[in-house]
Amino acid sequence: MVLIGVVSTGDPLLRQIFRGDYGKAVRRAGGVPVFLTWNRKHVPFWEKHLNGFLFTGGGDPDPKYYGQAMLPQCGAPNVARDEYELALLQRVIAAGKPVLGICRGEQILNVAMGGTLIQDIPSQHPEAAAENHRDNDHRCTPDHPARVLPGTYLHSLLGCEALLTNSIHHQAVDAPAPGMRVCALSPAGIVEGIEAVDGRFLLGLQWHPEAVAGKDERMQRPFDALVGASRKGK
């Protein structure tokens, strides 16, 4: 049995949707999702007993964690979630556990490892505004192009250099953390994916593959890879 910790979004209106999407993707991959609430006291227990971790979408991390003042366009941070996820990531990365981060999950993974974020794409990178990264109307219908960089793990996983994604965000990775590299980009150069350079399974995706994984086999592959790496590490 491969146990995958899935960090809760915390939003009661979205919880069932996220549990359904993320949980189904993990189950399709042969894993057992364990949904985690934001209790820092539980971090050592989950790090010890779970085999892999999935960090989900949500609101903006506090810029103080990557050494910046908060811009007016940045969303109000959730203190409990920020503190919990950063504490959990530090433990599981140190323990060598596989991690998949999606949307906010990619961003908090990058922050936990020492990278920075773009706080607001439209105001800080107007050249990318036309790409409509915050496309809530197409959550389940990918229409946003991304380029997968040759020679990366993500390229070998997806088997393609271009794909359409479903983006729902206004923040993104700016400077990748030490030990991480960019593996996918939007046409305007916004980071769409990051991965570890040393072969560890630390993968972040800016789009939402869980929402379409049941219809697109390529979008299921990151979850298959997470469960496979977690099984191998048991």
Provide the residue range defining the domain that includes 96. 3-232
Query: Residue 226: exposed, middle, or buried by beta-carbon count in 10 A (0-12, 13-18, 19+)?
Result: buried
Distance between CA atoms of residues 133 and 122, nearest Å: 9
Query: Are 119 and 68 within 8 A, CB to CB?
Result: yes
Name the H helices within the chain: 15-28, 43-49, 79-94, 104-112, 121-124, 153-158, 217-232
What does the pLDDT look like over 154-181, one tens digit per residue?
999 999 999 999 988 999 999 999 999 9
Is 47 marked active-site? no
Cross-strand bridge partners of residue 34? 5
Predicted model pTM: 0.94
Q: What is the CATH number of the domain that holds 203?
A: 3.40.50.880
Nearest alpha-carbon partner for 132 in 162, 158, 167, 161? 167
pLDDT (tens, 9 = 90+) of the chain, 234 residues, equals 999 999 987 655 445 545 588 999 999 999 999 999 899 999 999 999 999 999 999 999 999 999 999 999 999 999 999 999 999 999 999 999 999 999 999 999 999 999 999 999 999 999 988 877 776 666 778 888 999 999 999 999 999 999 999 988 999 999 999 999 999 999 999 999 999 999 999 999 999 999 999 899 999 999 999 999 999 987
Is 210 marked active-site? yes
Reduced to 3 states, what is the DSSP secondary structure of residue 199?
coil
Is 103 marked active-site? yes
pLDDT at position 131 is: 79
pLDDT at position 15 is: 54
Distance between CA atoms of residues 107 and 111, nearest Å: 6
Distance between CA atoms of residues 232 and 230, nearest Å: 5
Which position among 47, 85, 103, 106 bears the catalytic label? Answer: 103
pLDDT at position 13 is: 45
Distance between CA atoms of residues 8 and 37, nearest Å: 6
What does the pLDDT look like over 116-151, one tens digit per residue?
999 999 999 999 888 777 766 667 788 889 999 999
Total domains, the chain: 1
